[in-house]
Amino acid sequence: MHTQHFFTLLASCPDRVGIVARVAGFIAEHHGWILETSHYADADTGRYFMRIDIKADSLPFHLAEFRRLFAPIAEALQMDWRITDSAVRKRVVILVSRQEHCLYDLLARWQSKELQVEIPCVISNHLDFKGFVEWHGIPFHHIPIGTDTKKEAYAEIQRLYEEVKGDVMVLARYMQIIPPELCEAYPGRIINIHHSFLPSFVGARPYHQAYQRGVKLIGATCHYVTAELDAGPIIEQDTVRIDHGDSVHDLVRYGKDIEKTVLARGLRFHVEDRVLLNGNRTVVFR
């Protein structure tokens, strides 16, 4: 990642001749200095994807004027696009239940400034990590999820997320199913870590499922949350090899290490604006 101040243009549109020329020409016309550029044309969907980092002080205007001037080009290209400022950190709201490893890892990366984000609050359906979170100076909200109070609980979660102006919600081993209404309210803005190499072993107890099946690789998957359980667009995955001598407890222990690293990588790709949705798949410019 660049150390200087930059803007990131992220876009997709129907593929055609001249897209790069139009976009790069606009940037050059205003003396913009391109620091990094990535492109991908999907032959199956006929869509073109791009990510461009532009040195902020090379342009004679800020983002509002960029958006105004670039809008006619984007409209002509039928482009879905956004431009962001590296100086504005994404606001990450973390949800967690009773497994600590992903929460601990994310807060350690945040505290060491490896993960350049703001964490305005942590939400949990249990009180286990209240002291730990508040020790970091982060507000902690306990929202129990009861059989008869799920609707009210998720309404409160959504209210808090809006109140703190969250950019992305991270389920750091939050062991509850997010209702469809919340998924639809924030498409591409809720990230989950699932403790299996999806699409294998969806749902609960995937390590036990893997053990019973006798697989030789286990993994973890960072993906966007949709109304269909564990079926959202995948951002990042990784695996570790196991053998016949490993118990279920061994699989869980190995898996925790993968879950932490995969979630951290997937979240970093997201907050650095490196992920574009492509139907139920993603384009990730690493």
What is the set of active-site residues? 230
CA distances from 89 to 116, 165, 269, 272 (A): 7, 12, 13, 9
Label residue 38 exposed, middle or buried (CB < 10 Å: 0-12, 13-18, 19+). Answer: middle
Distance CA 286, CA 272 (A): 10
How far is residue 210's CA from residue 218's CA, in Å, rounded to a whole number? 7
Each residue of 224-245: b (16+ CB within 10 Å) or e? bbbeeebebbbbbbebeebeee
- Residue 138 contacts residue 121 (beta carbons within 8 Å): yes
Helices (DSSP H) in the chain: which residue ranges? 19-29, 63-76, 101-111, 130-135, 150-163, 180-185, 206-213, 248-271
Give CA–CA dist 107/114, Å, rounded.
10
Are the CB atoms for 133 and 140 separated by under 8 Å? yes
Token pair, residue 217, equals: 């690789």
SS3 167: coil
